[in-house]
Structure 1
Amino acid sequence: MLERPLFIGSEIYRGSSYGGWHPLRVPRVSTAMDLSRALGWLPREAFVTSPRAKPAALHAWHTPAYVAALQAAEAALQVSDTVRARHHIGTVSNPVFPEIFRRPATAAGGSILAGELLARGGVVYNPAGGTHHGMPDRANGFCYLNDPVLAMLSLRHHGARRIAYVDIDAHHCDGVAAGFAGDPAVLMISVHEENLWPRTGELCDDAGGSGLNLPVSRGLNDSEMAHIREALILPTVADFAPDAIVLQCGADAVTEDPLAHLDLSNNAHWQIVAALKGLAPRYLVLGGGGYNPWSVGRLWTGVWATLLGQDIPERLPDAAQDVLRALTFTGHRLGRNPPEHWFTSLRDIPRTGPVRSEIFDRVAYLRQRWKNRPL
């Protein structure tokens, strides 16, 4: 059993960008690292430098041809039309950039290592992980590799027989579903915005019996997510009795995200992080989406605080404020006049509201379907 939660990170994320126009041009993991250190929450003994996964480790799910294509793209900083068509590298969503292999291979290496570190139980946080769209032979939705799949395979290799995967990113986890559909030893729960790319994960889609998909309408608020947490996520995970829980904690479901249309505060994410913590001996929390540098950095730093059991201060100390004031978000209206509380606090004001009937109905439907599943 790990003596304390561990934070997996790397300096490769500092300054690495998908390009000046891409949603992933913003710093995210480095911000969470810097904020955590500024708050005194990340001592040297809690930080693990992420290794870069070697091709052989990636071949546990990705094809050798695809991994080789990523390496070749990094070496040449370009791809042929044939490679682009086959592997979807060099597209608008999945551009060629200087660290196109090293960066995702580092995130994947961290998630694979987490499976090993958790062999005897504990808590690990890898905010660079959560790239849940990657497919075996192609990039997909900004994701070149699928580190959640690789993490789950690593957990299984190191003794976890039953794994619950919970995904609260605004986008459906189509790559993870492709990896574990029909696997009776895996439970997948995804809460995602309806009709948002990749437009998979419909309510009726049970991923071959392994999944519960909850598409939600625009404007999902904290009260609705609290109902989903208490009436669907927690009882279903408890029923499943997993040996390990993997939580993909994408930050794109909060109000300020530029790519999604949900209305959560970061409190909703932290409450799920806390609630799942005691339901399995192994707990791995990953990052995921999130394209506003302030909302991502604040949310993911709060995830780490939650895993540590740290109280989140009402007002940040000057060193932490300096980290947030140094951020920029060029090319988007949200970066023109950021509100003062993005600099001075981690915690959002809760965004509560009425729970719509469709949320009650869909949660009840999924719970009943779970109860009626073949055993």
Structure 2
Amino acid sequence: MVAGAALFIGSEIYRGSSYGGAHPLRVPRVSTVMDLGRALGWLEGRYRSSPRAKPAALRAFHSADYIAALQAAEAGTISAEAMARHHIGTLSNPVFAQIYSRPATGAGGVLLAAELLAEGGSVHVPGGGTHHGMPDRANGFCYLNDPVLAIMALRRMGLRVAYVDLDAHHCDGVEFAFAGVPEVLLISVHEQARWPFTGALGVAAGNCVNLPVPAQYNDTEARLVLHEMILPRLQAFAPQVIVLQAGADSLLEDPLSRLALSNNAYVEALRAIRAMAPRLMLLGGGGYNPWSVGRCWALLWAELSGQTVPELLPEAAHMVLRGLSWGGGGRPPPAPALLTSLRDAPREGPIRPELRDRMAVLARA
């Protein structure tokens, strides 16, 4: 891979794959980014198809019994005992048609991205970012933990890794894997009092920096956090590669958080963070409004790959957004702007004293 180039890793497995009609992940996400990218001419010469990670690669973090249980669940042969032991078949982590092959494809995508980053550059893997998965069980919509597998692969290459997580939910699985590992810096900005109720304010185990932010967290506050907390810590750590988890559930429209960012805050973060290391792996993650998550990740791909973003989308891209739906649930239709453009209006606001107080605590940590 040529240093400075940007590549996109996707897969057709995400098209039509759903956790079920009652689950927040019934909505299309990665396929929307792929369709928008193709409609705008942004993927030509840059698209790579994700392989499916083999069980041996998954065993770098996950137990052999758990991988076998996921395979059995996909084949329809899993026992009730194994389902209970591995937290499979719950409301959050149901059995669905691609319960093994879909997350294994996400894992394969990040492992391919790690290989491509050997010489430098940037890779976007929107199917990655499942940061809650645990070694022996499913957790929080996540069956495998591809960020952990990606960081492990990068560390095997001898690289110093920083992981930055912008998802509304704390990256409990990643912290579980790397707490106390000095060669990995972990920074998580997530909503306070939100599942999984981990990631308390402070620096855990010497390398895990956690900032819970209040509801209605806005673009102005995100800019403060970026420039006064995230970037200084990255500069001090001097990573050789950054893994950026851009879960889009911190956007105002998302039904599973109470944060209020526009997608401009994500672009601003990506632009600044990518300058802090010669390699960047950009992942997806959360995001449960089909319009806002697809627009956000497509906009990030435009930033990463140097594309010009039109003020109004051409008809082919407009049709992609018009063709989306909630897939049931009785939620209201999207605002018209979510159908005609990629870039949100800015959502600036006050910097609240409680956020400044938390930043001060981290500054002393």
Query: TM-score if structure 2 supplies the norm length?
Result: 0.98
**Partner in structure 2 of residue 267 of structure 1:** 264
Residue equivalent to 2:308? 311
- 1:283 aligned to 2:280? yes
Counterpart in 2 of 1:52? Answer: 52
Code of the residue aligned with 2:68 in structure 1: it is: A
Q: 2-side partners of 1:128 and 1:340: how far apart?
A: 27
Letter in 2 for 1:14: R
Could you tell me whether the CA contact under 8 Å between 1:2 and 1:118 is conserved in 2?
no
Which residue in 2 is equivalent to 1:84? Answer: 83
Q: CA deviation at 1:319?
A: 0.5
Q: Please provide the CA RMSD for this pair.
A: 1.1
Please say if residues 79 and 89 of structure 1, whose CA atoms lie closer than 8 Å, have aligned partners that are also in contact.
no
C-alpha separation in 2, matches of 1:2 and 1:350: 34
Q: Deviations over 1:141-184 (max 9, x none)?
A: 00000000000011112231x11100000000000000000001
| Cα shift at 1:333 | 4.5
Distance 2:256 2:78 in 1: 27
SS in 1 for 2:190: strand
User: Among residues 189, 196, 199, which one is paired with 1:198 in the alignment?
Assistant: 196
Partner of 2:98: 99
Between the aligned partners of 1:79 and 1:164, the Cα distance in structure 2 is: 37
- Following superposition of structure 1 onto structure 2, how do residues 54-133 of structure 1 map, counting pairs within 5 Å? 54-76=54-76, 79-133=78-132
Percent identity over the alignment is 61
C-alpha separation in 2, matches of 1:367 and 1:306: 30
The CA deviation at 1:340 is 1.1
Equivalent residues of 2:167, 2:250 under 8 A apart: yes
SS at match of 1:252: helix
Where do 1:1-375 residues align within 5 Å? 1-3=1-3, 4-43=5-44, 45-76=45-76, 79-160=78-159, 162-204=160-202, 206-334=203-331, 336-369=332-365
TM-superposed deviation, 1:309: 2.1
Matches of 2:309 and 2:360, distance apart in 1: 34
Q: Does the CA-based 8 Å contact 1:169-1:252 persist in structure 2?
A: yes
- Secondary structure of 1:119 counterpart: helix
Aligned-pair distance for 1:217? 1.0
* Aligned position for 1:373: none
Is 2:162–2:243's contact at 8 Å kept on the other side of the alignment? yes
> Secondary structure at the residue paired with 2:286?
coil
Q: Provide the C-alpha distance between the structure 1 equivalents of 2:260 and 2:348, rounded to a whole number of angstroms.
A: 9
Aligned residues: 364
How far apart are 1:207 and its partner, in Å? 2.9
CA contact (8 A) 1:119 1:159 kept: no
- Displacement of 1:363 in angstroms is 1.4
SS of alignment partner, residue 275 of structure 2: coil
Q: Deviations over 1:83-111 (max 9, x none)?
A: 12210011110000010000000000001
Shift of 1:236: 0.7
Which residue identity is paired with 1:23? P
Please list every run of 5 or more consecutive structure 2 residues that lacks an aligned counterpart in the other structure. Answer: none
**CA contact 1:236–1:367 (8 Å) conserved in 2:** no
1:197 aligned counterpart, secondary structure: coil
Distance 1:2 1:55 in 2: 30
Question: Unaligned 5+ residue runs, structure 1?
Answer: 370-375
1:372 is matched with none
1:244-272 CA deviation, whole Å, 9 max, x = no partner? 10000000000100111000001111111
1:218-262 Cα deviation digits (max 9, x unpaired): 110000000000100011101100011000000000010011100
